[in-house]
């Protein structure tokens, strides 16, 4: 209390938020060199980047938990951007991995439902970025499956069908789309972007970030740096600089 009185206490600083919602490729994105960590570094003092990645989850489970992650609040609580990045588990083969597999039609419906839910809590389509699943390197992933005592449980051609469904949902709903499945395969031997055939390697994290950043940047470009640059703080009376509106 004494500190607050001495300082004069300005209004509470509220950081805008960017929400990353997805499966393991999102959950692991805050690891060293991860695409989420790169995003947080790029947005430091502008936005908080929240990692809401859930390893192994599919869109059926994601649709259920989304209302527990974001609820209608005041506009200051509303994320300025949301990424939705699912499909790696939904596209698992039903016969080999029935627990994670989600039928193609339901996958598309679940994505659409999530976009509609966000709209209902005042996050419009132009703040949402859908990300397609990455391509699958079958030879590398099959080795992982064999090590776990199972058969190859995903196929790249099937993942491509889910990527196309994601593209269609983005078109139908009016959201941005990052088509990783196509971009990675267009650029070079995409296996170098994957650490185990499914999850991203350091190079894959760089690739994702480099393509995601322009989509995020246009949503946050008007946001100010929070609190002034240190050289701009008034020396004699720093509170004049530090207890203002937080913009500089």
Instruction: Please give the positions annotated as active site.
Output: 24, 196, 199
Compute φ and ψ for 21, nearest 5 degrees: -120, 125
- Beta bridge partners, 95, equal none
The DSSP output letter for 233 is: S
Among all chains, which residue has been given the structure tokens 């720093």? 238
Q: Exposure of 125 by Cβ count < 10 A (0-12 exposed, 13-18 middle, 19+ buried)? A: middle
Give strand pairing partners of 8.
none
Cα–Cα nearest to 169, from 115, 118, 206: 115
3-state secondary structure of 30: helix
DSSP 78-129: S-SEEEEE--TTTTS-TTT-TTT---HHHHHHHHHHHHHHHHHTT--GGGEE
What lies within 8 Å, CB to CB, of 219 at 6+ separation is 80, 81, 126, 127
Rounded Cα distance between 11 and 244, Å, is 8
- Alpha-carbon distances, residue 118 vs 81, 113, 201 (angstroms): 11, 9, 31
- What 8-state DSSP symbol labels residue 65? H
């Amino acid at each position: 209390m004494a500190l607050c009185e001495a300082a004069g206490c300005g209004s509470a600083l509220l950081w805008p938020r960017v929400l990353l919602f997805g499966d393991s490729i999102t959950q692991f994105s805050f690891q060293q060199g991860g695409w989420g960590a790169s995003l947080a570094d790029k947005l430091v003092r502008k936005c908080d980047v929240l990692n809401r990645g859930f390893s192994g989850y599919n869109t059926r489970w994601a649709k259920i938990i989304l209302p527990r992650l974001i609820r209608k609040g005041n506009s200051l609580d509303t994320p300025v951007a949301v990424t939705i990045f699912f499909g790696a588990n939904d596209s698992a083969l039903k016969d080999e991995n029935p627990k994670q597999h989600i039928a193609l039609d339901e996958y598309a419906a679940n994505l659409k439902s999530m976009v509609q839910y966000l709209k209902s809590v005042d996050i419009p389509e132009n703040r949402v970025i859908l990300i397609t699943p990455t391509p699958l390197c079958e030879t590398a992933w099959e080795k992982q499956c064999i090590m776990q005592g199972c058969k190859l449980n995903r196929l790249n051609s099937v993942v491509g069908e889910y990527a196309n469904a994601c593209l269609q949902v983005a078109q139908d709903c009016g959201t941005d789309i990052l088509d990783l499945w196509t971009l990675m395969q267009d650029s070079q031997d995409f296996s170098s972007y994957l650490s185990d055939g499914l999850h991203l390697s350091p190079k894959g994290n760089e690739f994702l970030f480099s393509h995601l950043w322009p989509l995020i940047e246009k949503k946050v470009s008007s946001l100010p740096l929070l609190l002034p640059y240190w050289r701009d703080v008034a020396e004699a009376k720093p509170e004049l600089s530090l207890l203002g509106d937080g913009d500089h």
